[in-house]
Amino acid sequence: MKEKIRKYVLAEGGDDVGFVAAADYDSPLSPALESILPGVKSLVVIAYRELSSCESDNKEIAMNGRLDVMEFSRSLNYKVARFIEKEFGGKTMTVPISYPMKMEAETKGSVGEVSLRHAAVAAGLGAWGRHNIVIHPEMGTRMVFTAVLTQLELDSDAVVTDDLCIECDLCVESCPANALDVEGKTHVGRCLSNSQPYGIGGAIRFGMKLIDAEPEQKKAMLADPHFWKLYQAGFIGFQYQCFNCMAVCPVGQ
């Protein structure tokens, strides 16, 4: 089964694929897989190369590269899920690159339903780096992941035991928010407010200010490019302004 699925994913444009038995996936913050798909037995984790767009100082082009891979991965994830159901039976469910994401006070919208980094590491697709993201053994850090939950008994691929991070600290030094200063722990608030200034925090701050503003100030706020960017983020989804920790990592480049 694994070989057939692997062949399909690669033929359809995935850059790599790994398998992990549900019992070998462990992410302390995300919900139990069983609560998502009762009878879940395995995850098929798909890896995609991020485009070179992530290097661009032009943030619209950088974000567009991410949107390209998000759109492609949504389609591939769906196809793989359908392929598995048709070919081998059982139920499947897909896990997206980023959203939809649960927006709850408890997790502050910062925990995925399935942690794709933990899944990727357990599926042998890479190892954690100093930047707290996953480095693929050949393709490096510029990777994103999706997954398909299945009810198939698939055993886990071998995990990567090599330390792929070369400890150059370029990610730490190039983080404009100093979000990587503490090893093994990304400062979520710092990363979020810098990489997504038009995200949820920005939208809340804008709304709060608007409520209290005088009528003339309200008009000025709505005519300001800051609001236009919030508006755009609202319909494209996230609007990352920073890809530094991925883009500067020399591993695999």
x/- mask, ligand B12, residues 23-52, rule CB under 6 A, reads ----xxxx----------------------
Burial class from Cβ neighbours inside 10 Å (0-12, 13-18, 19+) for residue 103 reads exposed
CB of 117 to ligand B12, least distance (A): 5
Question: Applying CB under 6 A, does 144 fall inside the site for ligand B12?
Answer: yes
CB nearer to ligand B12: give 89 or 250: 250
CB nearer to ligand B12: give 187 or 218: 187
Residue with tokens 């692997």: 6
Of the candidate residues 20, 44, 148, 245, the single one contacting ligand B12 (CB under 6 A): 245
Question: Applying CB under 6 A, does 151 fall inside the site for ligand B12?
Answer: no
x/- mask, ligand B12, residues 104-133, rule CB under 6 A, reads ------xxx-xxxxx---------x--xxx
Handedness of CA 10, 53, 250, 144 (dihedral sign): negative
Site for ligand B12 in 167-226 (CB under 6 A): 184-186, 188, 191-192, 195
Query: Which residue number places its CB atom closest to ligand B12?
Result: 112
CB of 234 to ligand B12, least distance (A): 17
Other Cβ atoms within 10 Å of 183 Cβ, number: 8
Question: Applying CB under 6 A, does 100 fall inside the site for ligand B12?
Answer: no
Question: Applying CB under 6 A, does 160 fall inside the site for ligand B12?
Answer: no
Question: Applying CB under 6 A, does 145 fall inside the site for ligand B12?
Answer: yes
Number of residues that bind ligand B12 (CB under 6 A): 36
- Taking each helix axis from N to C end, the angle separating 188-195 and 200-212, rounded to the nearest 10 degrees, works out to 70
Distance CA 46, CA 66 (A): 16
CB nearer to ligand B12: give 34 or 224: 34
Phi, psi of 45 (to 5 degrees): -105, 125
CB of 79 to ligand B12, least distance (A): 17
- Residues lying near ligand B12 in the complex (CB under 6 A) are found at 27-30, 97-98, 101, 110-112, 114-118, 128, 131-134, 141, 143-145, 184-186, 188, 191-192, 195, 240, 242-243, 245-246
